[in-house]
Amino acid sequence: MADLNWKSATKLVKGYAKGKFSPVEVTKACLAQMERHEPALNAMVEIHADEALKAAKASEKRWKKGEPQGPVDGVPTLVKDLLLVRGWPTCRGSKTVNPDQPWEHDAPSVARLRESGAVFLGATTTPEFGWKGVTDSPLTGITRNPWNITKTPGGSSGGSSAGAAAGYAPLTLGTDGGGSIRIPAGFTGIFGLKPSFGRVPAWPLSPFGTVAHVGPMTRDVEDAAVMMNVISRPDPRDWHALPYDHADYAAKLKKKSLKGLRIAYSPTLGYVDVDPEISGLVGKAVSFLAELGAHVDEVDPGFEDPAPCFRVLWWSGARA
């Protein structure tokens, strides 16, 4: 099938179960897509093709036995080059990190995905130490937007967003402190979620402190929910982690009503000049939530532009 690299994770898993296609075929399709477009996009720091195919073959054997390892078994996955992956160097977009010193451990989110059978294809680009909202670095150069290569995919998870949007993989991991999942998701037309701090365990802890979160970046909302089911599982290395609540995010998507849910909505947060097109689209989304039964209150947060305070926190973390 020519479009295997574009299928969602949920459709891939269903296809594996029915024997319509295999993790090896899908992994090869994703790697071929990278080979076609990576020279123009520059979304990858490293591509681990041999390792990915080895993992895909192991997954294929499990599916043939009817014994998948987890809900993302055999699904191609990309990891932002700020998160530790066992056997990879994780250079954080910087030439100051020795690429010849691979890590011995996975970050919690990576470990949970590996336990669930995910196939890791490679590491995605980030600005140096993930500190800004566009993705270019001394290590990798400029990462470009798949929709228009003269534009940025945003940052700092721009490699993950570009990779997802370009069909490199259905699942990608990002991190977010000041918009680093949300900005690139918006710039490339994919879905990105910054979970509550502590909901997705992290280790080692970021110098950016409680503003730094790990979350999913996908082309499909259901895929993000499945990914959250996996990466929100507990890890004892993160002492800031929230108690594991056993939430089934994918199952919650099937609810037909939002009755009883209260949502606070601020069109401008009290200080932002919002583009009319964006304001109109957000307004439509708010109306849709109300139609589904949610109680929506328009509120004024009552604070001034927090950018000066945020800059102090952010630059302190960047310096650390």
pLDDT digits (tens, 9 = 90+) for 60-102: 999 999 999 999 999 999 999 999 999 999 999 999 998 888 9
Question: pLDDT value at position 1?
Answer: 65
Q: Identify which of 154, 144, 165, 88 has the alpha carbon closest to the alpha carbon of residue 121.
A: 88
Confidence check: pLDDT of 305 > 90: no
Q: In this prediction, what percent of the chain has a pLDDT beyond 90?
A: 87
Q: How far is CA 103 from CA 52, 74, 91, 112, 207, in A?
A: 17, 23, 10, 17, 19
Give the mean pLDDT of the chain. 95
Segment 256-285 mean pLDDT: 94
Name the pTM for this structure: 0.95
pLDDT tens, position by position, 279-302: 999 999 999 999 999 999 999 888
End-to-end alpha carbon distance in the chain: 48
The CATH number fitting domain 4-252, selected from 3.40.50.300, 3.90.340.10, 3.40.50.10900, 3.90.1300.10: 3.90.1300.10
Q: Which residues are catalytic, by number?
A: 80, 156, 180
Write out the two tokens for 158: 């721009």
pLDDT tens, position by position, 149-206: 999 999 999 999 999 999 999 999 999 999 999 999 999 999 999 999 999 999 998 8
Q: Identify which of 209, 201, 191, 194 has the alpha carbon closest to the alpha carbon of residue 230.
A: 201
Domain ranges of the chain: 4-252, 262-319
